[in-house]
């Protein structure tokens, strides 16, 4: 029975009060009122009180703030100020990078509030997180040359990018330790319930960033109508 609890709770088992562990180890008994709360929870889902869950929740809140800044960056700087999807010569490389990165964020925002990546899936998630870093570093280099004919990267845009990078690094600081622990478990996508603000906000962000990614890829490689309303004639 102990092995079952350790398999379900992982490192959280050792953080339980000694009296609680003794009770489940069979060395003690308890009496009292057992209350059942109505609600929906997946069997075997990870309880949000676990230390690992708290780390993931913190990372997701940081991702949510970063996503809000990313939406501002896209709508104000990329669309309105620079009008990148408008088909200006030489903008396709930057738009392609933005589109690929947006699709990664769509996967992250759409799945992390609902499932935990464990076993081999943890390495898939690590690959996505690493790909985002590589794309962003490449984007830093490409955007300087792409934006030069357009007047360069806006000062406020550089600050926004820097803050977003700091938030992403902070989120990884919370997420990576749990990811490493999850990689040692059996391969599975384990259902869990993130707090309601994350379960509602992040899927909405996933839809938005997915559409933004399709917009950028379409503007870079698709027909001219996908560059609306900035299409150059």
pLDDT tens digits, 72-105:
999 999 999 999 999 888 999 999 999 999 999 9
Is there a single domain that holds both residue 23 and residue 99?
Answer: no
Query: In angstroms, rounded to a whole number, what is the distance separating the alpha carbons of residues 196 and 212?
Result: 24
pLDDT on residue 105: 98
pLDDT at 22 over 80: no
Burial (Cβ within 10 Å: 0-12, 13-18, ≥19) of residue 203? middle
Element (H, E) at 201: helix 196-221
Q: State the number of CA atoms in the 13 A half-sphere of 12 facing the CB.
A: 17
In a domain, 21, yes or no: yes
Split into its structural domains, the chain has a count of: 2
Q: Are residues 69 and 131 in the same domain?
A: yes
**6 versus 69: which is more confidently predicted?**
69
66: exposed, middle or buried (Cβ count in 10 Å: 0-12, 13-18, 19+)? buried
- Residue 46 in domain: no
| Residues 207 and 99 placed together within one structural domain of the fold | yes
**What is the length of the chain?**
233
Question: 66 and 123: one domain?
Answer: yes
The reply to whether 218 falls in a domain is yes
Percentage of the chain exceeding pLDDT 70: 77
pLDDT band for 209, please (50, 70, 90 cuts).
very high
> Do 55 and 103 belong together in one domain?
yes
Query: Which has more pLDDT, 5 or 215?
Result: 215
Answer yes or no: do 67 and 5 share one domain: no
pLDDT band at 33; cut points 50, 70, 90: low
pTM for this model (two decimals): 0.79
Residues 59 and 114 occupy one common structural domain: yes
Range of the domain at 7: 1-39
> Looking at the structure, do residues 83 and 163 belong to the same domain, yes or no?
yes
What's the rounded mean pLDDT across residues 131-136?
98
């Amino acid at each position: 029975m102990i092995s079952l609890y350790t398999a379900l709770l992982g490192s959280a088992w050792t953080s339980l009060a000694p009296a609680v562990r003794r009770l489940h180890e069979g060395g003690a008994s308890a009496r009292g009122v057992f209350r059942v709360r109505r609600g929906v929870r997946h069997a075997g889902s990870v309880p949000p009180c676990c230390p690992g869950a708290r780390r993931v929740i913190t990372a997701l809140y940081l991702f949510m703030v970063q996503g809000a800044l990313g939406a501002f960056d896209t709508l104000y700087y990329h669309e309105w100020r620079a009008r990148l999807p408008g088909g200006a010569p030489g903008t396709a490389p930057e738009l392609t990078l933005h589109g690929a990165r947006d699709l990664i964020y769509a996967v992250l925002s759409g799945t992390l509030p609902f499932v935990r990546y464990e076993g081999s899936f943890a390495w898939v998630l690590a690959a996505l997180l690493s790909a985002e870093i590589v794309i962003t570093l490449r984007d830093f280099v490409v955007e300087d040359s792409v934006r030069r004919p357009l007047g360069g990267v806006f000062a406020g845009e550089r600050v926004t990018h820097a803050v977003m990078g700091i938030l992403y690094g902070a989120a990884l600081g919370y997420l990576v330790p749990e990811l490493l622990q999850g990689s040692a478990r059996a391969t599975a996508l384990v259902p869990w319930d993130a707090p309601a603000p994350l379960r509602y906000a992040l899927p909405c962000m996933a839809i938005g960033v997915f559409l933004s990614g399709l917009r950028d890829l379409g503007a870079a490689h698709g027909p001219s109508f996908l560059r609306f309303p900035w299409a150059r004639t």
